[in-house]
Structure formats: structure tokens, C-alpha cells
Structure 1
Amino acid sequence: MNKIRAIFLLAVAIVFTGCTSIPDAPINHEKTSYNTSEKSIAFGRITVKNNNAPSFQPELWNLSVMSEGKKFEFSIRTNMIADHGENGREYFFSFEAPAGMTQVQKFTLHAGVPLLVSADGAFELDQMVKLEKGKITYLGDITATIVEKKDNEEAVGPLLPLIDQRVAGFSNGTFSVDVKDHFEEDLELLKLTYPAIKGQVFTKNIVKKPALYQ
């Protein structure tokens, strides 16, 4: 029975993550220098926590954006700042795109217990942001908290697999969202975490709370 379940969970993971390799976020520990002459970079801080099922705190996996009619995905799994247990996890997120307007689409997330529970969902930011040439743009400090869903509110994840999604609080949960401008504090932490980023020119364009979760 466990073998069958393991195969099923692997199939679900393939559906959600796809077979292609997703590149790391442009701000990462492997970089020794940064160049924004061809593509601009945006970054922010995000905390995701689950008050609907506190035992299943989600991990952030990928960020998807749309620029010049093309979709791009970036992995942010290795950009965790801190794990606060039942108070969630904090991450830096970042992406790169040509200067101009870019649609920040969604963050994918996962929670579970190996071979027992596997739940997947998404936090839909769905906002247009302007990136300036030669600069790194700060988008804000986002807190996305999973709470109990009521009526026709947007769910964190799909209905299936039925037990997994419900136990993890995804199919019966929605997001309560807060956005703050902590530009100075977050920039200081970014430079401490990724020293190679020092010397770049920074600006800010704070995103709004997503209309989907108002």
C-alpha cells in the first residue's frame, strides 16, 4: 500500500513541478557578481504561514512571472531566511526580466509528511510591476497567512488529492495578506546574506495586497 501511495505522490509532484529544470532565483549564494545592464532584477521578502493547519507549514518552491509575452519560473527553495516552526517560514524572492512592465504571477508552495501527506497550492500575487534599467527593485515585505476559507473565497490549493489537501489546510484554506515597506531593513539583510550584491543601485516599487484575497 505504501509503495502505491509513494508512486501516486511522485506522479503528483511531477505534475506540479514539471520535468524541466527550473533555474535558481537570480539573487543566490552562487553568484560572485551581478549585472543589470541587460536584465533588471526585482526582489522582496515573503513569509508564508499556515494558521489553518499549523502542523503543516508550507515551503515555497517557485515564483512565476510574465515578461514580454513569455513566462519565466525561478526556484526560491534555497532562499529561506528563517524557519519559525508554527509561525511559518521567511524567504527572499527574486527574479530577472527586461526593464519595463513585468507581471508577477504566483508562488507555488508545498506541505506534507513524506509518504503520508503531500499537498500543493499557490499564492497568487498577480500584479504588474515596473522594473528600471540598471537597477534592482524592492517589491516589499509580504506576509501570506493561510486561514480558514469561507464561502466562495479563493482556495490555497485544489480539492484533490482529497485527504492530503484538506489535512494540510490547502483546499479548505485561503490567504490573509499583508504588505509592508521595510526597504531599509530588508536591503541591509539582503546585503548581509548575499555580499556580492553590494554596490548595486536599488529602488523600490511596493506591491499591493492581491485583489483575489481582499
Structure 2
Amino acid sequence: MFKTLTKLIALGLVVVFTGCANVAKMPLGAGNADVSAKSILLAKVHVVNLNKPGHQPDLFSVVLEQNGEQRVFKAPTLVVDNGAGGKEYFVSVQANPGKAVLKVVTFTRSVPLLLNAIAALPLEYAIDVPANQVVYVGNIDAKIKPRADGQPRAGSVIPLIDQAVAGFSTGTFDVQITDNYDQDTAELRSKYPYLAKQDISKLVLPQWTHPDLRDKKNTVIAVNTK
């Protein structure tokens, strides 16, 4: 019951954060590899909290914006739990062909009856989504490190105690995005047998910089698949 309540609280926080309430399960986790109408974007994500190693976050959702609408994709696939070394996930979202923006990845940390905290990794990557394809966008390594003055916070300061105890309000994200296509797609095909005969194209996102620190004339990085 507590897990259900925690998920509802987390979803409510994501809706408030993103301003959207259109929620769906991630397609691959739901057993869906159909690209006849919409393409599927997928990635492997590793998250680790180096600021408060005793509070490792769970990946909760990925938010995509397209045609003025934001969609929350939840229920990622946990690949491995490395304890204090963090967790690894496969994430996936569905998108219509054309322009789309990968907005944010959200993480939660919950302790029954004691703690509910949320961190948000802003992506703000514009993508020209190809039609009828499964697309690998990279291996995302997200570390929450102690925050120095002036650095963007990994999570808001409210609620004060929860966010501080989890190390989200006192931490900042350090992110590396790499092309690990061969290994990740082999693991994907092993994890999801229905991908065995599915072509997976590659469109690796560029290196991450917090959107607040990017060139204000180009706050969204454009990625073209052609």
C-alpha cells in the first residue's frame, strides 16, 4: 500500500513539475515494439547518488513534448541494482514522426513513512523523430554530486527535510552521454526477445550541459536524424 501511495505522490509531483497529466507506461516495458504508427526512442540510464550514498534514487519517468503536448512515460525496466553504486535502467518513449523534445528524467527516493523526495534531470533535447523506427539515443550516466554555490540543484528545496536528506536539493547533476550501441542493443535484445528481429537505428544525443547554463540563444540542442 505504501509503495502505491509513494508512486501516486511521485506522479503528482511530476505532473506539477511538468504541467502535464498524460501518463503512459514505457512501451518496451509494456511489451510493445510496434512502430507502425509511432517510433520508439530508447536509452540505457545509470543513476547514482554520490552526494548521499545511503539514498540511491529510483528512476520514475521520462517526459516527452510533441505538438505542444507533454507526455509522462513511467515504469522503466530495472536492469541492475548496484547498491551504493546506483541503478541501471532501460527507458523508452513513443513519439510521432517529426519534431519532439526530450524534456526531463525524474527520479524518486522513498523511505516508508519517513521520506518522499524527487530529483529532476532536465534534458531539453530537440529531436527530429524518424518514422517507423526503434531508435537508440545513447547511454546516459547521471551522477548526483555535492552542489557548489551557483550550480543548479538536482531537486527543489521543498519539502525542505525530504529533499535535503535525500541529497537532491544539496546536490547537482553531472551527466555523461556515450555511444554504447553494440553492448546496449545486445542487452536490449536479450532483455526483450521481441526485439530480436527488429532493426534498431542510432541517434546518440550530444553531451549534456544543464539547460540553464547553455547559450540563451540556443537553449535547446537540435539533433537531426538525417
TM-score range (shorter-chain normalised) is 0.7 to 0.9
Gap change, CA 1:10 and 1:145, over 3 Å in 2? closer
| Seq. identity, % | 30
Query: Which residue in the other structure is 1:41 paired with?
Result: 40
Gap change, CA 1:149 and 1:102, over 3 Å in 2? same
Note if 1:167 corresponds to 2:168: no
Q: Is the 8 A contact 1:127 1:210 kept in 2?
A: no
Gap change, CA 1:103 and 1:18, over 3 Å in 2? closer
Determine the C-alpha separation between the residues in 2 that align with 1:166 and 1:50: 13
Note if 1:195 corresponds to 2:196: no
Matched letter for residue 23 of structure 1: A
Q: Is the 8 A contact 1:63 1:76 kept in 2?
A: no
Determine the C-alpha separation between the residues in 1 that align with 2:132 and 2:35: 5
TM-score (norm 2): 0.83
Within 5 Å, which residues of 2 pair with 1:135-214? Answer: 135-212=133-210
Gap change, CA 1:131 and 1:151, over 3 Å in 2? same
Q: Is the 8 A contact 1:129 1:205 kept in 2?
A: no
Gap change, CA 1:199 and 1:10, over 3 Å in 2? closer
Q: Is the 8 A contact 2:147 2:153 kept in 1?
A: yes
Determine the C-alpha separation between the residues in 1 that align with 2:34 and 2:14: 29
In the alignment, structure 1 segments of 5+ residues that lack a partner are: 1-8
Q: Offset at 1:16? A: 1.0
Determine the C-alpha separation between the residues in 2 that align with 1:75 and 1:200: 23
Q: Offset at 1:212? A: 0.8
Note if 1:52 corresponds to 2:51: yes
Deviations 1:60-101 (A, max 9, x none): 111100112211111134x11000000100000100111122
TM-score (norm 1): 0.87
Query: Which residue in the other structure is 2:129 paired with?
Result: 131
When the two chains are superposed, the root-mean-square deviation of aligned CA atoms in Å is 2.3
Determine the C-alpha separation between the residues in 2 that align with 1:201 and 1:87: 32
Q: Secondary structure at the match of 2:151?
A: coil
Matched letter for residue 22 of structure 1: V
